[in-house]
Amino acid sequence: MAKRIKSAMPGFIKPQLATLKMKAPTGGDWIHEIKYDGYRAQVHVDRDAAKIFTRNGHDWTKRFSGIAASFKLRSQSIFDGEIVVIHYDRTNFSELQADLAKGRQDRMLFYAFDLLFHNGEDFRNKPQIYRKERLKELIDMLDPPVLYSEHHEGDGQALFEAAGRLNYEGIISKRVDATYRSDRVDTWQKIKTVRREKFPVVGFIKDPAGVAALYLGKKEGKNLIYLGKVGTGWDRTTSGKIRKALETVVSPKAKLTKPIKKPKATWVEPAFYAEVEYRDITSEGLLRASSFKGLSKGTGRS
């Protein structure tokens, strides 16, 4: 038998990216993982010393020094995964950003979901399921904050629907026989959950043809609190119709319980509700990744 030639440990590897799909694949050719809402990270371990790189190859080892120190492996290994903060039982990107800004690391976790290199062997040309099996063997030797990303077999759509009920960001489906490529590929597929809700419009920003953005609120008991703005999801015709409707309820001042300063705002009575798709609400209480879906008058669901 020919002796396997060992490879030198590579530097930063451009990550493989998933393609967005509307529905999860099914069948025995796929495994499915929960999609984490955090920072993509690549961990390079070289005989007990670890470096952590961002998705774009920046060395952020100092920012994630606690995680780096937890990779106590006497090996040369490269792990692909996600750094997260758990908040209310799910990963929360806004909380992670807040912790990074404060220099806080005690809540940070690293979920490893792929193994790219180990002790002279380049795993990128190995099947996905083989990489995950070897990955688990290594991660089982470590303690939190380093964790193994579990996967599920079978019906990906069922896992996706469960993820939606739990307010997770979505799932990643991976073809079991696929190799790892530094590109956006169809062998990794991301299916994202979105939240959809109606919120009272409390103001808007004008543009020449209609509106540039809507300011939104949310009712909490007798209070009307500011929830941020939405600035996408309409065409020019719809924008004009929104402007025409809102100009019938213009108010001299904001109706928010706690006023905010928005010099460009035209304030309105909260008589109209915007239906909005959004990904999350940040730690500051503002909508994240919002998109307008419709406008209605009267009582809305908030």
Would strands 152-153 and 146-148 be described as parallel, antiparallel, or unpaired? unpaired
Reading phi first (left if > 0) and then psi (alpha if -120 to 50, else beta), residue 47 is in left
Q: Which of 140, 153, 141, 148 is nearest to 31 (CA)?
A: 153
35 given a catalytic annotation: yes
Q: Which of 257, 285, 255 is nearest to 268 (CA)?
A: 255
C-alpha Rg value of the chain to the nearest Å: 23
Would strands 17-20 and 30-34 be described as parallel, antiparallel, or unpaired? unpaired
CA 85 to mean position of chain CA atoms: 12
Helix or strand run (H / E) with residue 93: helix 93-102
Catalytic residue among 35, 192, 198, 218: 35
In sequence order, the β-bridge partners of residue 121 are 118
| Strands (DSSP E) found in the chain | 17-20, 30-34, 39-46, 49-54, 76-87, 90-91, 108-118, 121-122, 146-148, 152-153, 170-175, 184-192, 195-206, 211-220, 223-230, 265-267, 272-278, 280-281, 287-288, 291-297
Residues noted as catalytic: 35
